[in-house]
Structure 1
Amino acid sequence: MVVLVVTAVPAGLRGHLTRWLLEISPGVYVGHLTRRVRDELWERVVELCKDGRAIMIESARGEQRLYFRVHRHDWEPVDFDGVQLIRRPSAPSARYSGMRSGWSAASRYRRGRK
């Protein structure tokens, strides 16, 4: 079983994916493919994706029975003691992003009026 989720990809790639998989929602494709077709389809997705993103979830042997492939995505698969997890990027803290800590000027003004 294969689940493929694409975001912001060209229409030509979406049309190509419908030849092999069933589109159950915009950008979400599901189907059962052989290993060879699945690998070549992933190569095609990476080749035609341009500025878009893609995540493929496929059946695999092992305890989890899942394997993730990611292309140009912020979230990345990480092997953690034999289990594949998805790590999302950490949120930047306020002091590193250039924002001041504390209350805003408008908030201080409203609190002062009471």
Structure 2
Amino acid sequence: MVVIMMEKSSPSQKGEMSRLTIEVKSGVFVGTLSARVRDKLWDKIVYKWNLNAIMIYSTNNEQSYCIRSNGDPDRVVIDFDGIALLSRPNKKVCTFNDSLNDH
């Protein structure tokens, strides 16, 4: 099983993804792909389309899945003692005191 989440993809890119997977939500694709097809598809997303994307796929490890990310997606992959977790980075909010300290 493969889950791919792409941000800001064009309709033609979504159409190409729909040939191999189903789009369960805008930009979220799910399918069963061989390792070769999965890797070729990821190379296309990264090198040809240059999209912000996250791919989660089944594998033989402790978690039974692996996570890949590209670009600057809303979520980042963090390795927590060998366990891959997704996190949303905090947006730094600039306050009046912060701006005074910068000068």
TM-score if structure 1 supplies the norm length? 0.73
RMSD between superposed Cα atoms in Å: 1.8
Aligned residues: 96
Work out whether 1:66 is the aligned partner of 2:102.
no
Residues 4-60 of structure 1 deviation map (CA, whole Å, 9 limit, x = unaligned)? 11121122211111111111222111110000000000011113434x421111112
Q: 1:75 to 1:25 in 2, by over 3 A?
A: closer
Partner of 2:100: none
Partner of 1:100: 96
Partner of 1:55: 54
| Unaligned 5+ runs, structure 2 | 98-103
Secondary structure in structure 1 of the residue aligned to 2:46: helix
Partner of 1:44: 44
Partner of 1:76: 76
Question: Where does structure 1 differ by over 2 angstroms across 4 or more consecutive aligned residues?
Answer: 47-50
Inter-partner Cα distance in structure 1 for 2:25 and 2:96? 41
Letter in 1 for 2:61: G
Q: Which has the larger radius of gyration?
A: 1
Inter-partner Cα distance in structure 2 for 1:76 and 1:10? 22
The answer to whether the 8 A contact 1:3-1:28 is kept is: yes
Secondary structure in structure 2 of the residue aligned to 1:20: coil
TM-score if structure 2 supplies the norm length? 0.79
Percent identity between the two aligned chains: 35
| Unaligned 5+ runs, structure 1 | 102-114
Inter-partner Cα distance in structure 1 for 2:23 and 2:91? 32
Deviation at 1:74, TM superposition (A): 4.2
